[in-house]
Amino acid sequence: MCGIVAYVGNKPCQQLLLEGLKRLEYRGYDSAGIAVLEKGKLRVCKSIGRVQNLEDKLEENGGLSGNLGMAHTRWATHGGVTDINAHPHIDDKVGIALIHNGIIENYASLKTYLEEKGHTFKSQTDTEVLAMLIGELYEGDLERAVQAALREVTGAYSIAVICEKEPNVLVVARKGSPLIVGIGNGEYFVASDASAIVSHTATAFTLDDYNVVKITPEGFHTSTIHNVPVTPRIEQLEIELQEIELGGYQHFMRKEIYEQPKALRNCLRGRIDVKEGRVILGGLAGLAKELTKLRRVVLTAQGTALHAAMIGEYLLEDLAKLPAVAEYASEFRYRNPIIEDGTAVIAVSQSGETADTLAALREAKERGALSLGVVNAVGSSIPRETDAGVYLRVGPEIGVASTKAFVGQVCVLTLITLFLGRRRFMSTEHCSELLKALDSLPEKIEQVLTQDEAIRKVTEKYCDRENWLFLGRGYNYPTALEGALKLKEISYIHAEGMPAAEMKHGPIALISEGMPAVFIANRGRQYDKVMSNIQEVRARGGHVIAVATEGDHEIKRYAEDVLYVPDIAEPLSPMLTVVPLQLMAYHAAVIRGHDVDKPRNLAKSVTVE
């Protein structure tokens, strides 16, 4: 939820840390802060708002010098958005500074204990409690103090800690929140996301849960919180610098919408054999026999990933003839879910770190489910905890409002469905036909993108309206939910997505003169039903924006505006019909003057409940 970057080496670190923060700002932008050990003394600077505010404040105060430091960008959880609540937090005895991503669940009881010991708190955060606890337990060895403190902590964390008494030492640790250590030549880089350090090193290792790493310019030592030595697995980062730069686009969201054809080609490469009607998924190959015997699939996710999971539910039941259900991870984990023999749970997440989805996955595993992951971020928590899975391979997604990851998730769920369906009831011919259509999707998305300016003009007509409806049926009911979510996320327009038939069971009362109603009305099994729903909206003065199949001229009689997508097999249509909705949301946000990539109150990776 927040961004962490730290450095120890032989270079002045202020600009390096600020550069890393700017690359991590999509993880949180309520406030930012930096701490540097300068001639053995802690120097700290913090500011509410964007990283640029912190940079300006540093410049006004002459900057910081030093070769060991850390920085943080925050998405507020405990305590409001103030300079005092911003990270880093400092203990009141030793001279320890700490930055933290996650939540310390037992911070209140720890705070009471520390107050009884004479500590005085300045902030309302759980993070300051951890800084004070490390200071209380410090006896001349920062690594040991961090280990001891974390043994008392309940919750999730990734942390970086420095201390005036050990001016060449950086200690980092992780449980349930991502953290990586990049290795350079006599220098080390720490970050919560590879995007912050990829311009400096391509060699890194990911911390496992309960790992603690002590780092100096001379090397590093990895152990558990119980001081058991650990040997990390050093790997090459898969991310490339150009993937996380704007490259001429005004916003990352626009860039990522336009990257969708390339993203799908990467997702499909080497995974389909159209001629033989085969899907090749190396991540599932070892479980092929077990997967063939499945009796039920539960897909669990949050937000945009849940909408992809809902499409996965339709796919699995329609094409693989396999009972399936998509569940809010946040609800699934607190129910008493029935997991029978032959049940698989598929966790769907862009980041692989979504806290509720991880918790739901662990609950399902505890009850005996086969666990699978559909994730974009390589090396993240979900793929490390599942029995098997499939990566999206769509490249890093920086924009907070997910676009190409959604299309990638639907594509991978389609591949999994065909992988299973071919082993159950699906003929070679049917599978080959769908794979051929799937292979044509990137080119067809490119055709939709050529209508960008037309979509902008349609959006401009309605973007001053504060209430919208998004309606679809069958495979495109979840697409309607996704379209409404996108509009809400970045343009702050109230929008509701629902099955088109549900409208007349109450929400039709909301329709007033000129209210925009976006119908996904592509050719399919329920086309005539959708047309009837359109008539119901028109009769009450609503203005219909239809997403329709190319060549459907009849629909112009019933819709004020029509956006066309190429014809494609109905099970694959959400990957096309969502693109105009993404562009509508983008243009609405731009026209209304909002920060597209950093919508208020949102962060890219939700690593807390």
Sketch out the chain's domains with CATH numbers.
3-243 (3.60.20.10), 246-447 (3.40.50.10490), 451-596 (3.40.50.10490)
Cα atoms in the 13 Å half-sphere on the side-chain side of 88: 28
d(CA 256, CA 605): 17
Q: Which residues contact 430 (CB under 8 A, 6 or more apart)?
A: 277
Question: What per-residue confidence (pLDDT) applies to 246?
Answer: 84
Single-letter amino acid code for the residue at 354: T
463 belongs to the catalytic site: no
Question: What per-residue confidence (pLDDT) applies to 609?
Answer: 64
d(CA 87, CA 125): 9
Average pLDDT across each block of 10 residues of the chain; the chain has 609 residues. List them in order: 90 94 82 93 93 92 93 84 91 94 91 94 93 96 97 93 96 92 95 89 92 96 96 85 80 96 96 94 91 95 97 97 96 89 96 91 94 91 92 92 97 97 92 97 98 97 95 96 97 95 86 92 90 88 94 92 96 98 98 92 70
What is the model's pTM? 0.86
The pairing of strands 166-175 and 180-183 is unpaired
Question: Which member of 2, 13, 45, 163 is catalytic?
Answer: 2
Q: Which residues contact 100 (CB under 8 A, 6 or more apart)?
A: 2, 4, 72, 87, 89, 126, 127, 130, 157, 158, 159
d(CA 560, CA 557): 8
d(CA 181, CA 204): 5
For the residues of 339-401, what is the DSSP string, one character each? --TTEEEEEEESSS--HHHHHHHHHHHHTT-EEEEEESSTT-HHHHHSSEEEE-------SSS
Question: What per-residue confidence (pLDDT) applies to 417?
Answer: 97
Contact 35, 88 (CB under 8 A): yes
**Coil, helix or strand for 478?**
helix
2 belongs to the catalytic site: yes
Contact 75, 51 (CB under 8 A): no
